[in-house]
Amino acid sequence: MTVHLLLLSNSTNNDSDYLAHATDEVLEFLDEAPLTFVPFALADHDAYTQRVIDALAPHGVEVTGLHTSTDPIGAVEQARAVFVGGGNTFRLLSTLERLALVAPLRERVRSGMPYMGASAGTNIAGGTIRTTNDMPIVQPSSFDALGLVPFQLNPHFIDADPHSTHRGETREQRLTEFLEENDAAVLGLREGTWLRVDDERATIGGQAVGAAAPGPAVVFERGASPHEVSGDVSALLHRQLRLDVGSSDVAPQ
């Protein structure tokens, strides 16, 4: 299986334009291939696609919105590269299901078509969308995603602020709850970072936003303490995803 993935935690840093923080990586990844953009995570597909065109056309990248095709399955099958944009993960997956695009997209990527995702588009690269941060504004038929990597993803990972007066669950606590019921690795990507996968090699890139961020990414695993990662994370490609195993066999940290 030949897989080429560029999975961005976010598409826009607080102080920059759309994709500006990752433009060099995006252009190198696409290698001048025309881009099919999947705008289904937001409601206004035309405006969303135009935003991508405005960001990439000045660099010579041809962008076409998948929503404009009368044959979306055929468009995916003919695409040279795909970018699945961010927004609401539940809406994105539900739309892909309704259009019968999940399997064709999965097969094209597994056959070597470059796949770029941001936020929700990164979420669906994992086995399921169970580690998204989004509200379930619609109900897909399943949480099963593309399964392009054998672990879970949590874009926009944010560290708890020790000075905050908020007493709700932190992101770490939410992911720990997921691991109490499921056996998997979860990669938390901080803002400004991304995961690049080329066949059997996986690397973390970018620069985490925020002075409090200790590094670009953190890995959560069942029965273990979270650990910071950077650079080569190829070992994650050899993990297995076991869902709904329950909490009875969670090892103490």
Distance CA 110, CA 115 (A): 10
Q: Domain-by-domain residue ranges, the chain? A: 4-238
pLDDT of residue 167: 65
**Which residue numbers are catalytic?**
119, 134, 156
Pair of tokens at residue 42: 């937001």
pLDDT of residue 163: 72
* Residue 252 DSSP label: P
Distance CA 81, CA 56 (A): 14
Pair of tokens at residue 132: 């998204």
> With contact defined as beta carbons under 8 Å apart, do 92 and 43 qualify?
no
Distance CA 148, CA 202 (A): 12
Contacts of 28 (CB under 8 A, 6+ apart): none
Q: Hey, is 251 helix, strand or coil?
A: coil
Query: pTM of the entire structure?
Result: 0.95
Q: Per-residue DSSP letters for 152-218? A: EEEEEE----TT----S--HHHHHHHHHHH-B-EEEEEETTEEEEEETTEEEEEE---STT--SSEE
Distance CA 72, CA 172 (A): 38
pLDDT of residue 27: 98
pLDDT of residue 250: 65
Distance CA 197, CA 208 (A): 19
* Rg of the chain (C-alpha set): 17
> With contact defined as beta carbons under 8 Å apart, do 180 and 34 qualify?
no
pLDDT of residue 210: 74
- What does pLDDT average to in each consecutive run of 10 residues of the chain (253 residues)? 94 94 97 97 98 98 98 98 98 98 98 98 98 98 98 93 74 95 97 97 93 86 95 97 86 52
For the domain 4-238, what is the CATH superfamily, name and number? Class I glutamine amidotransferase (GATase) domain (3.40.50.880)
Lookup result for tokens 């055929």: 74
